[in-house]
Amino acid sequence: QVQVVQSGAEVKKPGASVKVSCKASGYTFTKYGISWVRQAPGQGLEWMGWVSAYSGHAEFAQKFQDRVTMTTDTSTDTAYMELRTLRSDDTAVYYCAGTGIIAAATLDYWGQGTPVTVST
């Protein structure tokens, strides 16, 4: 069965970087993409971007263009999202999701979420 497992909670200071991992199993990783979505406390879902595990091509929401990197490691079926220059309003749960497996652009299989706290 498909599983998507993310790395554990992080606490960072403002200005630091965070790198979240997302390991997929149960499907052919390189045929699809991985999307990243975040959710601030008590708020809705915010699409950050996605990366093709096949080509490495990534697309980002404009607000993250200058601060985010999304990569994949096909040797371990793992995706990574690095967010730099963290601010307090980056405090959120960060989700990854296997994308495009069931249908085009659908976020099909979600990880459990990685809480990231940005605080002095």
Partner 1 sequence: EIVLTQSPGTLSLSPGERATLSCRASQSISSSYLTWYQQKPGRAPRLLIYAASSRATGIPDRFSGSGSGTDFTLTISRLAPEDFAVYFCQYYGSSLGTFGQGTKVEIK
Task: Compute the least distance from the CB of residue 23 to partner 1, in Å.
Answer: 15
What part of residues 51-90 is at the interface with partner 1 (CB under 8 A)?
59, 61-62
Whichever of 86 and 107 has its CB closer to partner 1, that residue is 107
* CA distance linking residue 119 with residue 62, whole number of Å: 24
* Exposure letters 20-48 (e unless 16+ CB within 10 A, then b): bbbbbeebebeebbbbbbbeeeeeeeeeb
Q: Does 17 bind partner 1 (CB under 8 A)?
A: no
Chain residues binding partner 1 by CB under 8 A are: 35, 37, 44-47, 49-50, 59, 61-62, 95, 102-108, 110-113
